[in-house]
Structure 1
Amino acid sequence: MRTSNHLIGALNFLTFLLSIPILGGGIWLSNRSNNTDCLQFLQWPLIIIGISIMVISLAGFAGACYRNTFLMRLYLVAMFIIIAVLIGFIVFAYVVTDKGSGRRVVNRVYLDYYLQDYSGWLEERVASDSYWGKISSCVRDSNTCRKLARNFNGVPESADMFYLRSLTSIQSGCCKPPTDCGYIYQNETIWNLGNGLMSANPDCTKWSNEQQQLCYACDSCKAGVLASVRKSWRKVSVINIVVMIILVIVYIIAYAAYRNNRRMDNDEPYGEARMTKSQPSHFHF
């Protein structure tokens, strides 16, 4: 009995530790939502799941230490629900970030981003006018585009040097016009029209050298945000999958240990049936 309780207590402590990466992933997404991705609702499910695992693990640990059957049952039921929710969240994250990626551009290291390459619930939410106003303001206030500026001994960065830079999706989509528009580089956030527009891309007419506007109203900016969110979610999902697999294994072991405790409480030797027949069976030929 004591060995089983110690095992259950150790497993609960392990699940408590496993909640830390999940909670950390939610906090990391929260920081990115405030400074980079600007989507401030995606992190909350992870934070809630992480805190829930912490609380339930402590309840299970207390139940194992004090042999409290109610707390152990609560732990097993609640942890089963949490694992199911975590699996659902992982599937949801992959479904809503399944489509979309940047397009390679000739003689450029950075990628260009197009909203039509994305679809689904997340794209509709980000692209909606009511929601995009908040996101674009967040991107603008983060000074992402202002941070693009580079000087070498007081000399601004040349076009050839800029074309060799690896820009983030938001920098590429929001801080410069799409490459197919044919704008001529002056500096990182100032581009002249040159001989006229070379594309029917609607974003070409939305570009402005006004530093408070740039391409924040462009579909390419929305696509850049989606690409950034997709990258962030995929990173966190990898951690969640690993944690989820370990949680399932730990849960199975904890459940087996709990069943063993119940068996010992009922004075039932391992492997012995609970009931025996009072009379032998009769065979009829």
Structure 2
Amino acid sequence: MRLSNNLVGFLNFLTFLCSIPIVVAGVWLSKQGNTECEKFLEKPIIILGIFLMFVSLAGFIGSCFRVSWLLWLYLLIMFLLIVVLFGYTIFAFVVTNKGAGTVLSGKGYKEYKLGDYSHWLQKRVNSTKNWNKIRSCLSDSKVCSSFQDKYLNDTLPLLYTENLSALQAGCCKPSDDCGFAYVSPTVWTKNATVVSTNPDCNAWDNDPKVLCFNCQSCKAGLLDNLKSNWKKTAVVNIVFLIFLVIVYSVGCCAFRNNRRDNYYKQ
């Protein structure tokens, strides 16, 4: 009869312990973070850690010390969390259901077009404010400098056969139809005799901080990478959702035990 209370208390004690390093990591990022990406992550991490502390304490005290109103509050938050997580999982599958890279003949990488992805995602990356932050993160992540170092000794035919990631193919090199002359993986010379209607050709710059970060292909490559990550996250969310439902069910049993104890005391 008391197993449900003890189990909820034990799980929330573990959650409280896990929340401590999350808060510490957020505070560390606020002190040590130098890049735009690190500064962007610090507040959500701290908020998440404090939220987990609050919820786990409510669940632990409510179940182990028979405080019914705290356990009721814990169950309410758990229910809302389940609803939000379920909605997010469905949303992630919907917005990432559309869009994929186009296979190029004789090439080891794909071509990515922004128009192939969902309008909601397109709107997010087409926002100047959003894209400036994303572009800063891409530059700070050294994705193109590592691309340059890894394929520095490749000839152009050999580079065409490499299995490039969506970000490398979309952000670190110009589109193939631009007809640029190859110098190195991130250095290309514009050919005046080749005329292309692709706007990305004019957006390309050999400056390591610019490259094709302003290109539509870069935005599409980012969305393809995001699509892959969101689908993996959605699968993890399903497993976590099942776990939350089980914990919520056990919590309901613990709440019923608390009410029964209070009734007998009265």
Q: TM-score, normalised by structure 1?
A: 0.74
Q: Quick check: 2:68–2:258 contact (8 Å CA) kept in 1?
A: no
Distance between the aligned counterparts of 1:184 and 1:256, measured in 2? 70
The aligned counterpart of 1:116 is 115
Deviation of 1:246 after TM superposition, in Å, equals 0.8
Match of 1:8?
8
Distance 1:65 1:42 in 2: 34
For residues 35-92 of structure 1, the C-alpha deviation after alignment (integer angstroms, 9 at most, x for no partner) is 9996987997787566534421221111222111121111111211122122222233
Kindly provide the amino acid, as one letter, of the partner of residue 124 in structure 2: R
Cα pair 2:178 2:198 within 8 Å, conserved: yes
Q: In the TM superposition, what is the alpha-carbon distance from 1:184 to its structure 2 partner?
A: 3.7
Q: Counterpart of 1:156 in 2: which secondary structure? A: coil
Instruction: Give the whole-Å Cα distance in 1 for the aligned partners of 2:96 and 2:40.
Output: 15
For the 8 Å contact 1:8–1:61, the answer to whether it is kept is yes
SS, match of residue 188 in structure 2: strand
Larger Rg: 1
Please tell me whether the aligned partners of residues 180 and 198 of structure 1 are also in contact (alpha carbons under 8 angstroms): no
Shift of 1:188: 0.3
Residues 180, 191 of structure 2: 8 Å contact kept:
yes
Amino acid at match of 1:222: K
1:182 equivalent in alignment to 2:179: yes
Q: How many angstroms apart in 2 are the aligned matches of 1:49 and 1:100?
A: 31
| Residues 170 and 225, structure 1, Cα contact 8 Å, conserved in 2 | yes
Secondary structure of the equivalent of 1:160?
helix
Match of 1:238 among 235, 240, 251: 235
Describe the shift of the 1:97–1:208 C-alpha distance in structure 2 as closer, same or farther (beyond 3 A).
same
Query: What secondary structure is seen at the aligned counterpart in 1 of 2:183?
Result: strand
| Structure 1 unaligned regions, length at least 5 | 268-285
* One-letter amino acid matched to 1:55: F
TM-score by length of 2: 0.78
Partners of 2:3 and 2:61 lie apart in 1 by 15
Asked if 1 retains the 8 angstrom alpha-carbon contact of 2:59 and 2:70, the reply is yes
SS state at 2:143 partner: coil
2:197 alignment counterpart: 200
Number of residue pairs aligned between Structure 1 and Structure 2: 257
- Identity rate, percent: 45
Give distance in 1, aligned partners of 2:58 and 2:198. 58
Distance 2:184 2:53 in 1: 50
1:97-131 alpha-carbon deviations (Å, 9 max, x no partner): 33222211111111221111123223212112333
Aligned to 2:102: 103
Q: Please tell me whether residue 164 in structure 1 is matched to residue 161 in structure 2.
A: yes
Distance 2:146 2:93 in 1: 31
Q: Going by fraction, where is helix more abundant, 1 or 2?
A: 2
